[in-house]
Amino acid sequence: MSHVWAPLALSCHPGPVAAVTVLVSALAVGSGPGTGRQVLVTAAVFTGQLSVGWCNDAHDAPRDAEAGRRGKPVARGASAPGTVWGAAFAALALCVVLSFACGAAAGAAHLTGVLAAWAYNLRLKETPLSWLPYAIGFASLPCVVALSLPGSPWPAWWAVAAGALLGVAAHLGDVLPDIEADLRAGVRGLPQRLGAARTRLLLPLPLCAATAVLALGPPGTPGGPVVAVLCGVAVCAVVVTTVCAGPRRGGSWRKAALAGTVAVASADVALLLTRGTGVA
């Protein structure tokens, strides 16, 4: 059975799935007590991310095969497209149940983000609005955490804004290594239209802006640690996106821009938890 399950697990984009799930779980734990609520939020986000990853690999299999992307199990024939599509829809169905178990408002907010991600996979990635599903999807994450709390409080504006900015950065960082191959395949989302050089220079802006919003948006005067994190994120963003993700980089550096985005998002979440600031 491992010959079936191992490729299926790799098809879900396990790195991004794990990163997003862990960061949202940390936000849920830091937002307030309630172990059951925290588990439900984590499970809802996990299944939602699984559905998005499987949908992406199944839908893009012909294009990935033509581009010679051997890291894609469906594209290389290790997983059947029907199996991956079935897993995607099963995860989506489970995500619906788990999301609404967090509350009606929380469920609606989370599913808005998940369905936006599906829309990206199926159509919007090829348009100038390719950034929008990422912005909606990441902005929905603090929403589901906040709205799952007793009384369903609205999320803080700065949490939603920072989520949207990190989503835009994640889109740029994820697409950056594949821009040339995407253009050959006829995919013309926003990063492809900008080109690799301009996308690489643009990427630090939403990363630094997200951190600035989280540092300056919550009540209270930012202290020394907050300023240090902001400066560290700025340096990290510039180094990772202009050096590690340069046009001649390959191999282990190929996903450096996306890894840098995840590192910045982790620093941002740690900043919130250290300050004891909830997202509601």
What mean pLDDT is predicted for residues 91-98? Answer: 98
User: What does the alpha-carbon distance between residue 85 and residue 90 come to, in Å, rounded to a whole number?
Assistant: 9
What mean pLDDT is predicted for residues 193-207? Answer: 91
The beta-carbon contacts of 80-88 under 8 Å, at least 24 apart in sequence, are 83/4, 83/8, 84/8, 84/11, 84/54, 84/57, 84/58, 85/54, 85/55, 85/58, 87/8, 87/11, 87/12, 87/50, 87/54, 88/50, 88/51, 88/54, 88/55, 88/58
In tens, the pLDDT along 121-140 reads 999 999 999 999 999 999 99
Closest by CA to 194, choosing from 174, 209, 179, is 179
Determine the angle formed by the axes of helices 35-59 and 14-31, rounding to 10 degrees. Answer: 160
Residues 114, 95: contact at Cβ < 8 Å? yes
Residue with tokens 């910045």: 264
Give the pLDDT confidence score for residue 33 in this predicted structure. 80
- Higher-pLDDT residue of 53, 1: 53
Give the pLDDT confidence score for residue 265 in this predicted structure. 87
Q: What is the pTM for the complete model shown?
A: 0.91
What mean pLDDT is predicted for residues 44-52? Answer: 98
User: What does the alpha-carbon distance between residue 209 and residue 166 come to, in Å, rounded to a whole number?
Assistant: 9
Q: How far is CA 225 from CA 79, 121, 221, in A?
A: 47, 39, 11
- Higher-pLDDT residue of 69, 119: 119
Give the pLDDT confidence score for residue 239 in this predicted structure. 66
